[in-house]
């Protein structure tokens, strides 16, 4: 649906293009010969209409890929429901409207698996997107992104505006957000387990019961799916992006612990929420409509992510030691100078 569109010499504006997913999307676009304009939040506050207009005037894009989002794990969603709803909704709604007014030829909206109802048969099929209310901790964020699907379909109907909507599952990979206050499950667990091992801890505490399941998509695969959809898909129907396999969080913790060679005890804090009970997508529509299938084996992706985090930790430790050494040398310099004998 929608013919093949070569991206060579096409001007593409990518919001969130400097972020975790965005960097991979930008590289793949550039590899196809696109002229990419990256919208950075430091320069363009997409919550403000004037900033959106400035970005569109500067980029003059033929295609807009909207990746920017205010997002986090369960803890961040619980702490910021109003902010997550407002900022995600206002960014996307204003951006799509201004893209239409600026004559943009195609708008690629990247939504979220959090838009799905809390209770829906597995695998999640796009037809079930409206069969119930999302899981409560994710609902404000998920519904804000879901409204962009409504907007895209309404604009297609009234203005013949080519806007498509993609629904990726949880992403993971090197360069992910490892901040314990806002990270998603895989980076949070990797950090917790690696840090525990480095400290010599005998156990870690994991949130929830471990009974919930999740599906994960390697970030580079997700980027390829987005670019393929940009090239090949032009339909009104939303499309899932996933790997088509689920894993229980309890099993996920064991896999990460094994890959990190951590043999301590895993303790579960059942007072913390599990989130949505199960997640796994039906990925057949992406395969049929624009030829996307995830290519990265799960443990391969996990190993790369763990290695990246360990390298980042070691680099930080080395940098800290250098700074401390420099401070110490600077503090000792006056004493050394006082103890020096004058030249004969």
Catalytic residues: 141
Structure tokens at 169: 């599952």
Which neighbouring-strand residues pair with 268? 206
3-state SS class at 14: strand
CA distance 275 to 135: 7
CA distance 39 to 17: 6
Which neighbouring-strand residues pair with 145? none
CB 249 within 8 A of CB 243: no
CB 162 within 8 A of CB 150: no
**Inter-CA distances, 121 with 116, 169, 278, Å:** 11, 16, 9
Which neighbouring-strand residues pair with 298? none
281 by Cβ neighbours in 10 Å (0-12 / 13-18 / 19+) ranks as: buried
**Inter-CA distances, 61 with 18, 37, 44, Å:** 17, 8, 15
């Amino acid at each position: 649906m929608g013919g093949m569109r070569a991206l060579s010499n096409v001007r593409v504006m990518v919001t969130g293009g400097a972020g975790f997913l965005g960097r991979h999307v930008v590289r793949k676009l550039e590899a196809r010969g696109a002229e990419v304009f990256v919208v950075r939040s430091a320069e363009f506050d997409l919550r403000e209409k004037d900033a959106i207009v400035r970005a569109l005037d500067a980029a003059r894009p033929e295609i807009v890929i909207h990746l920017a989002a205010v997002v986090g794990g369960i803890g961040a969603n619980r702490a910021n429901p109003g902010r997550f709803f407002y900022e995600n909704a206002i960014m996307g709604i204003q951006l799509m409207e201004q893209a239409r007014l600026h004559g943009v030829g195609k708008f690629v909206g990247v939504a979220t698996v959090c838009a799905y109802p809390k209770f829906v048969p597995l695998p999640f099929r796009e037809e079930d997107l409206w069969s119930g209310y999302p899981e409560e901790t994710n609902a404000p964020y998920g519904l804000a992104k879901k409204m962009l699907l409504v907007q895209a379909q309404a604009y297609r109907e009234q203005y013949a505006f080519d806007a498509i909507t993609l629904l990726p599952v949880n992403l993971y990979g090197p360069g992910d957000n490892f901040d314990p206050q806002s990270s998603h499950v895989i980076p949070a667990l990797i950090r917790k387990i690696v840090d525990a091992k480095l400290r010599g801890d005998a156990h870690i505490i994991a949130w929830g019961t471990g009974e919930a399941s999740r599906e994960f998509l390697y970030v580079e695969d997700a980027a390829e799916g987005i670019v393929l959809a940009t090239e090949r898909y032009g339909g009104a129907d939303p499309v899932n992006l996933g790997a088509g396999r689920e894993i229980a969080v309890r099993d996920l913790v064991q896999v990460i612990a094994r890959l990190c060679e951590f043999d301590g005890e895993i303790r579960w804090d059942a007072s913390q929420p599990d989130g949505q009970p199960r997640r796994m997508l039906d990925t057949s529509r992406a395969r049929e409509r624009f030829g996307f299938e995830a290519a990265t084996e799960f443990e391969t992706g996990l190993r790369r992510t763990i290695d990246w985090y360990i390298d980042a930790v070691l680099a930080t430790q080395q940098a800290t030691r250098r700074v401390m050494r420099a401070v110490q040398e600077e503090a000792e310099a006056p004493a050394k100078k006082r103890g020096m004998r004058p030249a004969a």
